[in-house]
Amino acid sequence: MIKLNVNGIEHSLDIEPEMPLLWALREETALRGTKFGCGLGLCGACTVHIDGAPVRSCSYPVSAAVGKEINTIESIGTEETPHAIQQAWIKHQVPQCGYCQSGMQMAAVALLNENPQPTDDDIDNAMTNLCRCGTYDRVRAAIKSAAKELA
Amino acid sequence: MGITRRIFMLTGATVGGGLLLGVGGVGAHLLTHNRVGVQRDANQSDNAEHINMWLRITPDNKIVVVNPHTDMGQGSATGLMQIVADELDADWSQMQVESAPAEQAYSNGKVFEGFMREMVTPPQWASTLLENGFYRMGDLMKMQMTGGSSAVRFTGMDAMRKASAATRQMLISAAAAQLDVSKDSLSTNMGSVVHTESGQSLTYGELAASAATMESPKKVALKSPDQYQYVGKPVERIDVPGKVFANQDYGIDAEVPNMQYAAIAASGVFGAQVKSIDNLDEIKAARGVSDVMIVPDGVAVVADNPWRAEQAARTVKFTNESHANDTLSTESLVEGQRKALAGELTNGMSTGAPADIEATVKAEYFVPYLAHASLEPMSATVWQQDGKLHVIAGVQNPLGAKVRAAKEAGLERDDVIFHSRQMGGGFGRRVAFSMSGDEPLNWLVQAVRVAVDTGKPVKTTWSRETDTRNDVYRPMVLARFEGALADDGKPSVWRSRSYGKEMNIKAVAPPYDIPNISVDYADHPHPVPTGFWRSVEHSQHGFFVESFIDELAAEAGVDPLQYRLSLLDDNSPAAKVLQKAAEMSGWRNGADDQGRVMGVAMVHSFGSTIAQVVEASMTPAGPKAHRVWCAVDCGIAVNPQAVEAQVQGSVNFALSAALHGKCDLKDGGVVQSNFHDYRIVGMADAPRIEVELLALGSPVGGVGEIGVPPLAPALCNALAVLDGGRRRALPLV
């Protein structure tokens, strides 16, 4: 059995240790906010936090996540209690199709936790998620706006 | 939490009660093709609330826009709500939207009509007759399409606007009867009909039931733009919060009881079918695997988890039937196009006497096949229940997809229930039709096959690799251009020949005042499956035409922006957007002290006109686009912030193609597989994009695709300023 702590809840799962965390989250814990885009850690649609750090869950075996705190988009905020990033995402109307945006927001939250006032270069370096709709201008503006809000 | 909510969503049509108003042509159009009755049935709602095909008004005073378009990120639902709210004098807080059911009653002739009118201009007397004809064509074609940048300009500004204005008249008639006053003494305001004299007012909700029994007016007056309260204002899109809080279900997120998962091992050769599976026992022994079967274009492996299914699919060994495409390669395809261009051509357009003038500037251009690479890979969930086949998927044509699923399952259309979902990107990939006859729903066909053959509820999902290699591709095109200059430096002749027949020849011809033009094409098919790709033929021909005009400007020794302006009417939208883009960018024809250069391009498409200036430089890693300025004429921009978003997104979409996009062919299949070799620009490579919308009084145009065509030529034109080198083949890196 693989024991995973997801969003503060312990799960005991009968899965292969090499199963990527993404599929355990989506299929075994029914948390489908985390998306599948490429399976090779290239696009970042599957970004979650492990002990606070952004990780591409499609290429991260569950065995490596045992004993760590896993957080998904579902734990970041809700419409009633939104995270500053989510408020900024709405203010700047960031999403288009929205499919990459849980991963994009998870990367942004991790960036601001690590670096509360990121420069443009910091944003370029940290935000390596791909958005096929091309929302980058607004992602950048929303991160800066959230950083200001959190300052 | 996920499971309960998701399963609940499957249990039936999402539609509650509400007033449906008649076919789209309410108003100044004939109404012989009225479908209200069937629409009421299809919508399973209270007859009293259905005023017409496009909207319902509920007893609790909600106005529900029945949207025949699906969302892939374009945000048009909000624009449609703005249009309806304005024409109805509604309060924004009472506006709602729901998806039209995937039913024949909701086929959207307006879109078909819009496209046809764009290409042929019928005489006025024929227009009303044609409108009914278009609905019938829409029916015949099972068209409920989202594509061609059509939702706001055709469904919204034409059909829904007229239907809403007619509804407002019917509500006034109902109020006049109820209050026993004249219609002239009544006005509408914020969702109520008001009798100012007596101070009485009735909400639309209170009037809906009797309004639905009123005859639809034959003629309606539409508001003028200065009366709009919602149209033209930046409105927050209604689809955004669900995407931000990740409680928006995409097709890939479907869940049904006892669901199994399928992955596909594709045959790897376009058109080739798998003849035998050679290691069946080995695959079946893998954990969780229950079924392995040959399906169209490949082998499907069914398991109890999508990762297990995909792992097993990757180990499938199979034998294909031999196929003419087995040896297909990029080299053989380019050679084929080159031969075709040297052979017999079809003339698409001709003016003047182009053959008599000797060409002095000649160039060959090339763009490759491109995949759509929507971030959500193709996925469909199919199951049988109570004698019906159910399908969950995100598509750009739910009715077309339903018909295709029925055909594959050998069922009648009405034996399929199609549950439409948010799309994780579309860009033309998820349509139900192609000009080439290739099957864009190849993924849905496989999903239906798997569910029907196993008798199980199955979600079939393509890996990124399967998605990249089994697309219907943006066509590869080779093109040759020839031109000559008159004594004043302006083009005296323009000749082009290109591979493939395009839907709209206007996209292939230069949009400039040139006396002698000849546009020829080789009317040959593609051995590779092709389909619609964001901006369609403009994506190739915008690049060719706007690059070659720049070559002629360089030959004439004239600033390329001034050169274009010299070939346009000063008052045309084309000239206006070029001037605006020049002003926004502080246009300069030369490098600045950091080695940054500018290039310009202008393209008409989808009823709009756009000019872009790209500022670029050369870096050790290749060309870099730093900034892009876009000047747009799309008539009234219904939701300006959403228009800006579409144009910004299109620039990045086009930049990915210009820098990196290509699908090479080898041994009958596509070489590229995932985002390492089919690259998409990321944050660090994305330019800063500024968009300005001009108010020129033009008709409302589409905006979802117009930002794509000018980007590559503007970028390449900029780089030519830097080093004199003309980039005539994409991608650049």
A45 and B CB contact within 8 Å: yes
A100 and B CB contact within 8 Å: yes
> Which has the minimum average pLDDT: A114-123, B107-116, B566-575?
B107-116
Note whether B376 contacts A97, CB cutoff 8 Å: yes
Dump the DSSP string for B359-415: -SEEEEEEE-BB----SSPPEEEEEEETTEEEEEE--S-HHHHHHHHHHHHT--GGG
pLDDT of residue B17: 31
Q: How many angstroms separate the CA atoms of B588 and B503, rounded?
A: 36
**Cβ contacts of residue B529 below 8 Å, gap of 6+?**
B270, B434, B436, B438, B439, B442, B471, B472, B473
| CATH number of the CATH domain containing A35 | 3.10.20.30
pLDDT exceeds 80 at position B467: yes
Residues B229 and B257 in one domain: no
User: Which residues of chain A are within 8 Å of residue B236 when distances are taken between CB atoms?
Assistant: 90, 93
Which of A53, A68, A55 is closest to A20 using CA atoms?
A55
Give B241 to chain A, closest Cα distance, Å. Answer: 7
Instruction: Give the SS3 label for residue B717.
Output: helix
Note whether A99 contacts B688, CB cutoff 8 Å: no
Which among B240, B267, B294 is the end of a domain? B240
pLDDT tens-place string over residues B203-219: 999 999 899 888 888 78
Residues A92 and A68 in one domain: no
Which of B398, B501, B472 is closest to B69 using CA atoms?
B398
> Which has the minimum average pLDDT: B487-491, B495-499, B502-506, B626-630?
B502-506
* B70, closest residue in chain A (CA to CA): A97
Note whether A132 contacts B680, CB cutoff 8 Å: yes
pLDDT of residue B216: 82
Mean pLDDT score of chain A, rounded to an integer?
98
B4 occurs within a structural domain: no
Q: What is the mean pLDDT of residues A6-14?
A: 98
| CATH number of the CATH domain containing B662 | 3.30.365.10
Tokens representing residue B643 in the block: 């228009």
More confident call, B199 vs B109: B199
Residues A101 and A122 in one domain: yes
B573 occurs within a structural domain: yes
Residues B293 and B150 in one domain: no
Note whether A93 contacts B240, CB cutoff 8 Å: yes
Give B248 to chain A, closest Cα distance, Å. Answer: 8
**B674 → closest Cβ in A30, A42, A78:** A42
pLDDT of residue A147: 98
pLDDT tens-place string over residues B64-73: 999 989 999 9
Which of A81, A77, A85 is closest to A127 using CA atoms?
A85
Give B352 to chain A, closest Cα distance, Å. Answer: 42
Q: Sorting pLDDT into bands at 50, 70 and 90, what band is B39?
A: low
Residues A26 and A64 in one domain: yes
B134 occurs within a structural domain: yes
Residues B467 and B420 in one domain: yes
> Which has the minimum average pLDDT: B74-78, B328-332, B338-342, B564-568?
B74-78
Q: Which residue has the tokens 């299929």?
A: A27
pLDDT tens-place string over residues B410-445: 999 999 999 999 999 999 999 998 989 999 999 999
- Cα-based torsion angle of the residue sequence B690, B692, B693, B695 in order, rounded to the nearest 10 degrees: 180
Which DSSP helix (H) or strand (E) runs through B483? strand B477-485
pLDDT exceeds 90 at position B42: no
pLDDT of residue B6: 29
Total structural domains in chain A? 2
* A32, closest residue in chain B (CA to CA): B253
Give B306 to chain A, closest Cα distance, Å. Answer: 7
Task: Label residue B349 left, alpha or beta by phi (over 0 means left) and psi (-120 to 50 means alpha).
Answer: beta
A61 and B CB contact within 8 Å: no
Within 10 angstroms of residue B696's Cβ, the number of other Cβ atoms is: 14
CA atoms lying within 13 Å on the CB side of residue B193: 26
Tokens representing residue A123 in the block: 């944003």
Size of interface A-B (CB pairs under 8 A): 178
* A121, closest residue in chain B (CA to CA): B684
B608 DSSP β-pair partners: B605
Mean pLDDT score of chain B, rounded to an integer?
90
**B243 → closest Cβ in A39, A98, A130:** A98
Q: Taking a C-beta distance cutoff of 8 angstroms, is the pair A106, A76 a contact?
A: yes
> Which has the minimum average pLDDT: A3-7, B352-356, B378-382, B693-697?
B352-356
Residues B617 and B644 in one domain: yes
Total structural domains in chain B? 3
A60 and B CB contact within 8 Å: no
pLDDT of residue B46: 52
Residues B228 and B98 in one domain: yes
Q: Sorting pLDDT into bands at 50, 70 and 90, what band is B132?
A: low
pLDDT exceeds 80 at position B458: yes
A55 occurs within a structural domain: yes
Percent of chain B with pLDDT over 90: 80
pLDDT of residue B3: 29
Which among B205, B240, B275 is the end of a domain? B240
The domain of A28 spans: 2-74
Note whether A135 contacts B422, CB cutoff 8 Å: no
A16 and B CB contact within 8 Å: yes
Interface probe, candidates A99, A106, A143, chain B, greatest B C-beta count within 10 A? A99
> Which has the minimum average pLDDT: B98-102, B548-552, B719-723, B728-732?
B98-102
What global pTM score does this model have? 0.93
Note whether B246 contacts A33, CB cutoff 8 Å: yes
A79 occurs within a structural domain: no
Which DSSP helix (H) or strand (E) runs through A147? helix A136-150
Percent of chain A with pLDDT over 90: 99
Give the type of residue at B438.
D
Residues B165 and B309 in one domain: no
pLDDT of residue B213: 85
Which among A55, A74, A93 is the end of a domain? A74
pLDDT of residue B103: 84
pLDDT of residue B130: 58
pLDDT exceeds 70 at position B138: no
Tokens representing residue B476 in the block: 């590869």
Tokens representing residue B40 in the block: 């009421």
Q: Taking a C-beta distance cutoff of 8 angstroms, is the pair B489, B556 a contact?
A: yes
B430 occurs within a structural domain: yes
Note whether A37 contacts B375, CB cutoff 8 Å: yes
Note whether A33 contacts B684, CB cutoff 8 Å: no
Residues A93 and A64 in one domain: no
Residues B258 and B395 in one domain: yes
B359 occurs within a structural domain: no
- For the sheet with B186-189, list strands across it: B186-189, B192-195, B200-203
Residues A35 and A93 in one domain: no
Q: Sorting pLDDT into bands at 50, 70 and 90, what band is B117?
A: low
A144 and B CB contact within 8 Å: no
Instruction: Give the SS3 label for residue B451.
Output: helix
CA atoms lying within 13 Å on the CB side of residue B19: 26
pLDDT tens-place string over residues B82-105: 999 999 999 999 999 999 888 887
Note whether B424 contacts A99, CB cutoff 8 Å: yes
Task: Label residue B31 left, alpha or beta by phi (over 0 means left) and psi (-120 to 50 means alpha).
Answer: alpha
Give A25 to chain B, closest Cα distance, Å. Answer: 12
